[in-house]
Structure 1
């Protein structure tokens, strides 16, 4: 049986590892003291305090009741309103938001295009949104078998992540939703610690799933993981950042 990480601890760990790109995403929003800001898929509220420092009001939305409860607990002393809701049907009025961020959410939703259409609905004319998504197909690790790395990636993209390459599709999908794309940038996220990468990227747990699914052999998975653990270790993947505005 493959053990899943605690979701709140996982998101906190991922936020700490991605602090540099998160700062760039926050800066891209250009939040001001008169703004109403939205965090779609706010999770346990990791990014809400930084938004609250700059905006008049911040709304966090998440579909998971446990995440909503934790985000409310963490932001009880701030001007933050955390709501349970689906990204496909945001619990906000039309054109009521000046700024919005959608960070590593669209690879998990049923319909990324529908979420972007909702974003357009809630943004005021001239409003801005900052989006960030990894591209799971770009994951490269060293040392270890390149063939196993590629087979691992293919399994994750086929069976684990619903929308694994939505990062590279962000600009096109946003434009199709009626948003104006103002910038497209990419960061390469690099990890040098195997334990951190194993937790965040699911190397061991997804390799075990791949074995169970017949996509990797026990021998190849064990050898690959042993090589990665022995190091020196490196993992890298592409994360796309797209800034959009509403007409």
Structure 2
């Protein structure tokens, strides 16, 4: 990833985390981790370090927070953002082969990362490997196959969603499979939750869905009719706007024996 692409991606992640939906589910994920002072927690796919300060505050000076990301640019940004937290360590690493020993962490999390990986099941097995008996993991992913955008031209809305699922997001439906992935990796599934993330205005949706850019890719690939897509985009911008996508969060525990 180039420096420019990394900066664009950081800006996108910051917008998503700062949205109302982003702040809400992140609070819930933090609570579900049940972090205690002295815990070691691993954030796989930590990106620019968005969630690391909150993890550091929860585990305290006697705890340890390890962020792992494959992109050196993200790691550099995360190190800058967490410089005031001595308990935080950031490492360049692959989610499929974490740079950590077996059974070294009390808690682990992965937030909107599995949808992009070559092998989500292998990454979940890695989370299982680095957690101690009794350790908890939280996973959070959207299911892009459920994206519904209201428009008079429903055919274009449906084609837009199909393009995201088939061409834009590598594992677009991974959200619905999170509990199964945990079970197959040897976790006990503690909880599964699904919520509809609702967008009621065009600008907040655009910050996450990037509709003109994706639609342009789609008509260039022949998946959308360009005049119809342009009219569809204009209608969405004019409003009223409504869109929703299902977002899944799960909690798993490593058996004690």
Q: If the TM-score is normalised by the length of the shorter chain, which range does it land in?
A: over 0.9
Give TM-score, length-normalised by structure 1: 0.96
2:112 to 93, 104, 107: 104
Distance 2:151 2:15 in 1: 24
1:235 to 243, 246, 249: 243
The answer to whether residue 73 in structure 2 is matched with residue 66 in structure 1 is yes
Distance 2:242 2:55 in 1: 32
Query: 3-state SS of the aligned residue for 1:128?
Result: strand
Residues 9-158 of structure 1 correspond to what in structure 2 (within 5 A)?
9-17=11-19, 18-55=22-59, 56-78=63-85, 79-158=87-166
Distance 1:30 1:227 in 2: 45
Residues 183-194 of structure 1 correspond to what in structure 2 (within 5 A)?
183-194=191-202
1:104: Cα distance to partner? 0.2
**Does the aligned pair in 2 maintain the 1:21–1:187 contact within 8 Å?**
no
Report the equivalent of 1:181.
Answer: 189
1:199: Cα distance to partner? 2.8
Distance 2:157 2:26 in 1: 27
After superposition, give the CA deviation of every residue in 1:118-142 in whole Å (9 maximum; x if it has no partner). 0000000000001100000111122
Unaligned stretches of 5+ residues in structure 1: none
1:200: Cα distance to partner? 1.2
Distance 1:235 1:71 in 2: 32
Report the equivalent of 2:230.
Answer: 222
Give TM-score, length-normalised by structure 2: 0.93
Query: 3-state SS of the aligned residue for 1:206?
Result: helix
**Does the aligned pair in 2 maintain the 1:143–1:232 contact within 8 Å?**
no
The answer to whether residue 6 in structure 2 is matched with residue 7 in structure 1 is no
The answer to whether residue 213 in structure 2 is matched with residue 169 in structure 1 is no
Report the equivalent of 1:208.
Answer: 216
Distance 1:207 1:144 in 2: 17
**Does the aligned pair in 2 maintain the 1:104–1:134 contact within 8 Å?**
yes
